[in-house]
Amino acid sequence: MKPIGKNKIIMKIDSHVHFWQYSEKEYPWIGTTMSGIRRDFIPTDAEPIFHRHGIAGCIAVQARQNEAENEFMLSLAKRSSFIKGIVGWVPLKDKSLQSKLEAYAQQPLIRGFRHVIQDEPLLEFMLDPSFIRGLRLLHHHNYCYDLLIKPSHLPVAAALVRLLPAQPIVIDHIAKPDIARGEFTRWAKDIQRLASFDNIYCKVSGMTTEARWKEWSENDFRPYLDTVVESFGLKRLIYGSDWPVCLLSTDYEQQLRMVENYFRSFSKPEQASIFGLNALEFYKIA
């Protein structure tokens, strides 16, 4: 790792990785069409992959909507130093949230939280006053937020962000446009609008599972990558693999190569930002 200015380093970070000990009851979202990931994935599975591709660390992101998930990820991090941060889960609408966040303050590896908004039946879930109160408490306690949504949620997300101009928020998986069916125009318009808020970042992640599984080409992603680069700039884009979910459509090397090939013509400092420094800044990792 080489110094970049004062107290800064080049470090390739995968900002979006999941770990689990699989059971159908605990992970109902892993359906029968996802047979390739209906098994355990733990840090010892990821470590040789990261070593092979020069990944110095990762952010572990929740895959279950309960607080046992936080304890599970913390237990993994105790044995796996390459887990640099954790995005956990808390009941954002719960009146007990304040006391829960005070307790999690004793766990510095927890850098933020996420809720699986894409599965909520109402688009207006994000505008519930209790949800907004929860996000304001996250900001008060210096936590960031991963926003997992689909394109239909983008206009509501923009309304939410207007109310929270200081809360650091990152859009997971470029908001999951249906790349397989060529969903683009409306998504592009709405993502550009959301990117106009300076506190919003975007993860360049999860795209291969929105394309035709195992049948995509790198050209399928170029218009989407062009759009997020133009919309967010190079200081608010963060690389992530979405491993092991990405294995439904490809292997780790292919999804990484696709993103690296796109950014190959960019300068080395720009690549360093997208593949590491932006993640360290967003998740406040020294």
Domains of the chain: 13-282 (3.20.20.140)
Q: At 286, is the pLDDT very low, low, confident or very high (cuts 50, 70, 90)?
A: confident
Task: Name the amino acid, one letter, at 271.
Answer: Q
**What's residue 2's pLDDT?**
39
* Distance between CA atoms of residues 225 and 279, nearest Å: 18
Say if residues 234 and 226 touch (Cβ distance below 8 Å): no
User: Per residue in 125-152, pLDDT tens?
Assistant: 999 999 999 999 999 999 999 999 999 9
| DSSP letters spanning the chain | --B-STT-B---EEEEE--B---TTT-TTS-GGGGGGSS-B-HHHHHHHHHHTT--EEEEE--SSSTHHHHHHHHHHHH-TTEEEEEE---TT-TTHHHHHHHHTT-TTEEEEEE-GGG-S-GGGGG-HHHHHHHHHHHHTT-EEEE---GGGHHHHHHHHHH-TTS-EEEGGGG---GGGT--HHHHHHHHHHHTSTTEEEEE-S-GGGS-TTT--GGGTHHHHHHHHHHH-SSSEEE---BTGGGGTS-HHHHHHHHHHHHTTS-HHHHHIIIIIHHHHHTT--
pLDDT at residue 6 greater than cutoff 90: no
User: Per residue in 186-238, pLDDT tens?
Assistant: 999 999 999 999 999 999 999 999 999 999 999 999 999 999 999 999 999 99
Query: pTM for this one?
Result: 0.95
**What's residue 8's pLDDT?**
46
**What's residue 11's pLDDT?**
80
pLDDT at residue 102 greater than cutoff 50: yes
**What's residue 260's pLDDT?**
97
